[in-house]
Amino acid sequence: MSISSRNKQRTYRSFLSSRVGQISPSGIRKFFDLLSSMEGVISLGVGEPDFSTPWHISEAAIHSLERGYTMYTSNLGMPELRQELSRYLRNSYNLEYDPNGELLITVGVSEALDLVTRAIIDRGDEVIMPDPHYVSYDACVILAGGQPVKVPTSQEDNFEISAAEIEAHITDKTKAILIGYPANPTGAVMPRDTLSQIAEVARRRHLLVISDEIYAKLVYGVEHICFATLPDMKENTILLGGFSKAYAMTGWRIGYAAATREIIAAMTKIHQYTIMSASTMGQVAAIEALKSGENSAAEMVEDYNRRRLVMVKGLNDIGLSCFEPKGAFYAFPSIKTTGMTSEEFAEKLLGEEKVAVVPGNAFGKCGEGYVRCCYATSLADIEEALSRMKRFVSKHRLA
C-alpha cells in the first residue's frame, strides 16, 4: 500500500464518529460473508425461516401493487394495520392499545430497537440486558450514546436472567431493562414467576422495560408471557414485535412498537425524519398475516418443533451438551469438550465439514464456549449437519 493511500485511509477513519468505533460488525454477518464463496455448505447460521411467506400473504401484497398502492403511508403505519394489530394484541393478551397513538409500525423490530433506544437514552444512561443477547441490543444502546450493562446468564440457570442479578446491576444511571424472550441465541423462555420478579424490580426502581417479543409465537409446550400483561407493566413496557419470524416475512421488513403515547410520540418523531413510513407493500402483507395467517404460522411452528427435537437430541448424543430451548428456532450447545474457542470451533467446522454455525461470543462474553445452531432448515439438512458434526467432534474431542 502506498504512503499516500495509507494516509488517506487514516484520514478517512478520523472522520468516523467514536460511537461507530465502539461497535463491531455483527458477528453473525461477518461469519456468513465467508459462506457465499463456498459450495456444499449446510448452514445452521442466519436466523431466518426456510419457508417462503405463505402465498395468501404475498398475494395480498401483489394485489395491492396491481391496484396502485405504492404511496407513503401515515408515519404511524396504515390505519387498518394498526387496527388489526390492536385487535391482535387484545385477543392474544387482553391488552388494549389505542391504534391512534399507542402503536407504531416500523421497519422490523430492528428499527423499533433503534428508535426506542434513541428516544429514551441520554448520554451515559445505562440499559441492563442479559448476556448472551441478540446482537443489536448493545449496538443500539451504544449508538444512542448509552452504556449497555450486561448481566451474565448461564446454561445451569437455563439462560434466564434473574431479578436479583438485575437489581445488583442497577445504578443511578440505569434507565431501562432490555430483554428478549423467547431468546436469540439461546432459545430460552422465561417462566411467569421470574418475569414477575423482574416486573417487581422495574416497578420499585422506576425503570422502563423494553421487551423484544419477536419470537412470541415460536414456543414449544410452554406459554409465552407478554411482559406488558404483568401487573402495572403495560405503562412501563415498550413491547416490540414483528412479522419476520412467525409468518416467514423477514424480507418484508415490518415490525411494531406498542407503548404509552409519550414514548410512541417520541419514537415517531425519529421515525418520521429517518424512515417516514414502513414499506406500503409490506404493511398490506402484514394486514393479511394478522387477518388470516394464524394457521400458516401454527403449521410452521409444528414443523420447527419436530426439527428442534431432532437437533437437541442429536447435539446431546454427539456430546455437545445442549440445554433444551423452549422457544425461537435456535439450539445453543456447549462446545467446551473440544477445548476450542467458539470462533475456532465455527471456523474449523466450516473448513473441515462445511457446516456453518455462529460462534457464541458474537452474542456477548457469556456466549463463549457455545455455538448457535439455527434449526429453521430442512430435517434432511439437520440430520446431515449432525452427522458431519459428530465426525468433527470425535476427531477434536479433548482426551
Binding interface with ligand PLP (CB under 6 A): 47, 108-110, 134, 180, 184, 212, 214, 242, 244, 250, 255
Give min distance, CB of 363 to ligand PLP, in A.
10
State which residue, 116 or 349, has the beta carbon closest to ligand PLP. 116
Select 257 or 386, whichever has its Cβ closest to ligand PLP: 257
Q: Which CB atom, from 134 or from 392, has the smaller least distance to ligand PLP?
A: 134
Q: How far apart are CA 312 and CA 303, in angstroms?
A: 14
Instruction: For the CB of residue 109, give the shortest distance to ligand PLP in the complex, in Å.
Output: 4
Beta carbon of residue 239, minimum distance to ligand PLP (angstroms, whole number): 13
State the number of CA atoms in the 13 A half-sphere of 299 facing the CB. 10
Closer CB to ligand PLP, residue 43 or residue 110?
Answer: 110
Indicate the residue among 29 and 261 with the shorter CB distance to ligand PLP: 29
User: CB-wise, 244 or 277, nearer to ligand PLP?
Assistant: 244
Which residue's Cβ lies closest to ligand PLP?
108
> Are the beta carbons of 145 and 122 closer than 8 angstroms?
yes
Q: Report the nearest approach of ligand PLP to the CB of residue 18 (Å).
A: 26
- In the bound state with ligand PLP, the residue whose beta carbon lies nearer, of 288 and 353, is 288
The distance of closest approach from Cβ of residue 48 to ligand PLP in the complex, given in angstroms and rounded to an integer, is 7
Over the chain, what HEC string results? CCHHHHHHHHHHHHHCCHHHHHCCCCHHHHHHHHHCCCCCCEECCCCCCCCCCCHHHHHHHHHHHHCCCCCCCCCCCCHHHHHHHHHHHHHHHCCCCCCCCCEEEECHHHHHHHHHHHHHCCCCCEEEEEECCCHHHHHHHHHCCCEEEEEECCHHHCCCCCHHHHHHCCCCCEEEEEECCCCCCCCCCCCHHHHHHHHHHHHHCCCEEEEECCCCCCECCCCCCCHHHCCCCCCCEEEEEECCCCCCCHHHCCEEEECCHHHHHHHHHHHHHHCCCCCHHHHHHHHHHHHHCHHHHHHHHHHHHHHHHHHHHHHHHHCCCCCCCCECCEECCECHHHCCCHHHHHHHHHHHHCEECEEHHHHCHHHCCEEEEECCCCHHHHHHHHHHHHHHHHHHCCC
Give me the least distance between CB of 108 and ligand PLP, in Å please.
Answer: 2
Query: Looking at beta carbons only, is 244 or 279 nearer to ligand PLP?
Result: 244
